[in-house]
Structure formats: structure tokens, C-alpha cells
Amino acid sequence: MATALTIGLLRLTDAAPVIVAYEHGLFAAHGVDVRLSVEPSWANVADKLTYGRLQAAVMLPPLAFAVSLGLRGAGTPLIVPMALSLGGNTVTVSCALAEALAPETGMDALAIGARLRAYRAGMDRPLRFAVVHSFSTHNLLLKYWLAASGLAQPADVEISVIPPAETVDALATGRIDGFCAGAPWGAVAAHAGVGRPLLPSTAIWSNHPEKCLAVSKAWADANPTALAGMMTALLEAARFCDAQGNAEEVAGILAQDRYLALDPAVIRDVLPTFFAGAANFPWKSHAGWFLQEMARWGLLPTEADRGAALGIYRPDLLRAVAEPAGISMPIGDTKQEGAHAGHWTVKAAQAPIQMGGDRFCDGAVFEF
């Protein structure tokens, strides 16, 4: 029988490709015997990957680096053979703060940031924001936007870590002024009437990479066929999740009690990008940006070997499974992050790929 493996995930909409692949029998159809393990915390995912209780997981890229480099207790070498989603996080603030800032429709992230800075100037304490984990895209994107807006950390804004399910209560009781978390938590706070979306994370970095597939390197090396089967199933599921008219079904699957246990209507409207614009391609330039920002905020030891860390991203493995599946993938491993304000086309093996923009809120260009 097929090689057995367990994939870990959290109750988040961007776990959709893994859940859909499982529920549609795509893993089995590609000869892989997959179990899913819904975990209550990122710490669990990281620990279970480290000690072989999970072979793969839907992962935050910065946490994949942290586990691989042993930055949070013992670690284990991981690889990132594909990305799973673009965008999907929201900066949500308390109703009081949203009213004070009163952003107009279409206002950009820096203009909103300037209002936040002015608001902070009139306060006798720092603003308090929350993220879901230190080694998260949410933390790095939020910090990037605050710094670009001239807000010092922690002098002007303190960032703490609280589980997403607690954000509603934390906003309601005034323990925090806002948070940056993945879908559907911004929408959940809005539905509960305690918070309002201030800006999507894509306003900080257009089409930013969000979740990735992290795989134990030891397992991947020993099971190349199963790895390819798992990735092919995930590519098919990602395409399904992105296709027009499938949002209702995807939301229905995710909403079930054993996954998100939420109202499907809340999930349906906040699905991120899973396939379009080479969403599954693990760009080395994405990895490079994450590592740069981790270093900037003291989350990466200065002596860490960044060259070796970049090797965790494996676009070569994705090309090898995408080609036989007839899915075009970029020829280069890097792109100029921040250089594309709008749609553009990237050279790819079969047909060129229509890409979305990758602009940073401050107009910076990340040279890999």
C-alpha cells in the first residue's frame, strides 16, 4: 500500500488545498496515504515536525526557517517544496480605533499608517497589537507597515502573541487595540461587532506569500515518490480552490466541525489566492525577504547561515511535478520583489504566467 504520512494544519482558511485534497480523495488517487492532524497551535506543528509525529505541515514560512535553523528549541531540517497561498491576512482594529482613524475608501496603507501615528501621538501609552506567532508572516508584515509609517516598536506599538480565537475577546475587553491574523479571524471579529478591518495584508505587500508546505527533509529524501504524489494532489486541489464557482463548496468543506467549525458564509468571502499567479511557486526571493526581515527584528541570529537557509526553498522540486501535470512554472528562481505595481507576465516553462503585482506599501524594491 501507499506510503503513509501525516500532514499538520491549523483551523485556517489557507489550509484549504490540503483539506480539499483529502476530502476529494486526491491524495489517495495519487498513491499517497495521508492522515490530517488539526493542531491547536503553531508550537504543536513545529514540535511534531521536529520529533517525527508529522511529516509535513501547512506552515508559516518564517516558522519553517525557525524550525530548520533550531531557533525555537531543538529543530529539524525541513524543505519548502511549494507555497500554498498568497495574501489572506487582515489588520483588524477595535471599533473605537477604526472610528478615530476613519480611513476613506481606497486610502493606501501608508496614509492609514500616518493617521495611526497621529493617533498614537495623542495617547499616553503605546498602541497594543497582537499577532499569532513571533515567527509569522503576520508579525513581519505588521512590523514592516508600522515601521514604514514611522511608528517605533515597542515605544509606539507593542506587539504580543495571542491565539486567533482569543482576539475577539481581547478586542472586546480593550486588552489590544488591533491584531493581524489570517482569515477568517478578521471577519469573525467583524461579525461579532468588536472590530473592523483596517487593511488587508496585501496592502502592505501585494500578493505576499502566506502559507507554505513544509516537509521533513529526512522524510522527503527517503520518499521522493510519495512527496511528488502529495504535491501533485495539492496542485490539483489548489487549482480547484481557486476556480470560479467553487468557493461555496470549498467553504462548505472547511466549515465542518472537524476543521474550522465556523459558519461557511464567513469563510466563503475571505478565501485567499491558492493557484493563480504562480501562487504555488516557492520563490527564493520570497525566502530572501523573510530572512532579511527576521534579521531586521532580531529573530535571526547574526551568525545564521542565510545561504544555507535559502536552500530550504526548493522550486526545483515543484517544477519536477508541475511539468508532467501540464502546469506551467516560472523558469527563474527569483523575481524582483516590489518592482511590479500591476499585472505582469513571467517567463515560464510551457506558457508565460500572468502575475499579480508585488508592490510594497513604501515602494521599496527587494533586490535578491
Partner 1 sequence: MKVLLADDNQERADAVARRLSDAGIVEIVRVEPGQRLIDIVEAAKPDVLIVDMSRPDRDSLESIREVSAQAPIVLFVDRDDPGFMQDAIDAGVSSYNLMGSSIPDVKPIAQAAVAIFRRYRKVAEDLEKAENKLGERDIVQKAKARLMKERGMTEPQAHKYLRQTAMNQGKRIVDIAWNLLGGAGKES
Kindly state the smallest distance separating residue 301's Cβ from partner 1, in Å: 12
Measured distance CA(156)–CA(124) in Å, rounded: 10
Using the rule CB under 8 A, is 264 a contact of partner 1?
A: no
- How many C-beta atoms surround the C-beta of residue 120 within 10 A? 20
Using the rule CB under 8 A, is 259 a contact of partner 1?
A: no
Looking at 3, 6, 28, 349, which residue binds partner 1 (CB under 8 A)? 28
Site for partner 1 in 191-250 (CB under 8 A): 249
> Are 284 and 313 in contact, with CB atoms under 8 Å apart?
yes
Using the rule CB under 8 A, is 123 a contact of partner 1?
A: no
Using the rule CB under 8 A, is 55 a contact of partner 1?
A: no
Residue 307 or 324: the one with the smaller Cβ distance to partner 1 is: 324
Kindly state the smallest distance separating residue 29's Cβ from partner 1, in Å: 5
Measured distance CA(221)–CA(215) in Å, rounded: 10
Using the rule CB under 8 A, is 296 a contact of partner 1?
A: no
Looking at 118, 165, 222, 351, which residue binds partner 1 (CB under 8 A)? 165
Using the rule CB under 8 A, is 161 a contact of partner 1?
A: yes
Using the rule CB under 8 A, is 133 a contact of partner 1?
A: yes
CA 324, 326, 327: angle at the middle one, nearest 5? 110
Whole-number Cα distances in Å, 183 to 94, 189, 197, 219: 17, 11, 11, 30
Q: In what order do the strands lie in the sheet with 157-161?
A: 157-161, 127-131, 178-182, 89-94, 195-200
Residue 42 or 366: the one with the smaller Cβ distance to partner 1 is: 42
User: What does the binding site for partner 1 look like in residue numbers (CB under 8 A)?
Assistant: 1, 22-26, 28-29, 33, 40-44, 47-48, 50-53, 72-74, 132-135, 158-163, 165-166, 249, 298-299
